[in-house]
Amino acid sequence: NAGVTQTPKFQVLKTGQSMTLQCAQDMNHEYMSWYRQDPGMGLRLIHYSVGAGITDQGEVPNGYNVSRSTTEDFPLRLLSAAPSQTSVYFCASSPADGQGKNEQFFGPGTRLTVL
Amino acid sequence: GIQVEQSPPDLILQEGANSTLRCNFSDSVNNLQWFHQNPWGQLINLFYIPSGTKQNGRLSATTVATERYSLLYISSSQTTDSGVYFCAGTQGGSEKLVFGKGTKLTVNP
């Protein structure tokens, strides 16, 4: 198993540009999520999904969109990039049992810089 | 939602020393994980430990769920142990993982 994969590894955008960060997992996990990591802030939840067709907002959702058309993929879209979105983005997945008792696994991250 | 506090925020050790990292939760958790973020930015799963004690080589972890804290022990530290250690937990029936701000560990040769 490849586990959780993310592309690209690095990206530089100009303010106002749009892009999609890709996340895929091959473990048949129902739950997937996106986090951003900023210096001194730990990881903060952006959006999450408990299964195909179901998404919801996390702690810091503004400026980001998600969709979940398949179990395997959970892309994160930046519609109009801003410098405040410069960060490292992590995708995670786990089985979902409705009790929050499953180990979560993280991808390698995408380092995004918005100029 | 739950609050997660980690201590100390920074720790500097000489190679071979032992250390204890602490994670406190504001409320009971269903899932408790420890991660190591290496200097290349990768998040490595160390322990899934909602309660009890686990050991993996030089690392061990203990979670006392009733008292809302978890401890990560690192023995005979090596320079490769350097990085940031995060704990994170979920609450209630939610899968949402809430992270602490981490402990930055530096092990000097």
Report CB contact under 8 Å: A58, B42: no
Say what the pLDDT of residue B92 is: 81
CB neighbourhood size of A2 (10 A): 9
Q: What is the mean pLDDT of residues A18-25?
A: 97
CA angle (A9, B87, A35) in 5-degree steps: 35
- pLDDT per residue as tens digits for the range B22-33: 999 999 888 899
Cα nearest neighbour of B5 on chain A: A42
Q: Which residues contact B65 (CB under 8 A, 6 or more apart)?
A: B28, B29, B32, B50, B51
Task: Calculate how close chain B gets to A18, using CA atoms only, in Å.
Answer: 24
- Contact predicate A22/A6, CB 8 Å: yes
Say what the pLDDT of residue A101 is: 77
Report CB contact under 8 Å: A104, B101: no
Cα nearest neighbour of B30 on chain A: A101
Cα nearest neighbour of B94 on chain A: A100
- Contact predicate B106/B88, CB 8 Å: no
For testing contact with chain A, the best of B40, B45, B97 (most A CBs within 10 A): B97
Say what the pLDDT of residue B95 is: 85
For testing contact with chain B, the best of A89, A97, A99, A111 (most B CBs within 10 A): A99
Say what the pLDDT of residue B102 is: 95
> Residue B35: its chain A contacts at CB < 8 A?
106
Is the pLDDT assigned to residue B5 strictly greater than 90? yes
- pLDDT per residue as tens digits for the range B41-98: 999 999 999 999 999 999 999 999 999 999 999 999 999 999 999 999 998 878 889 9
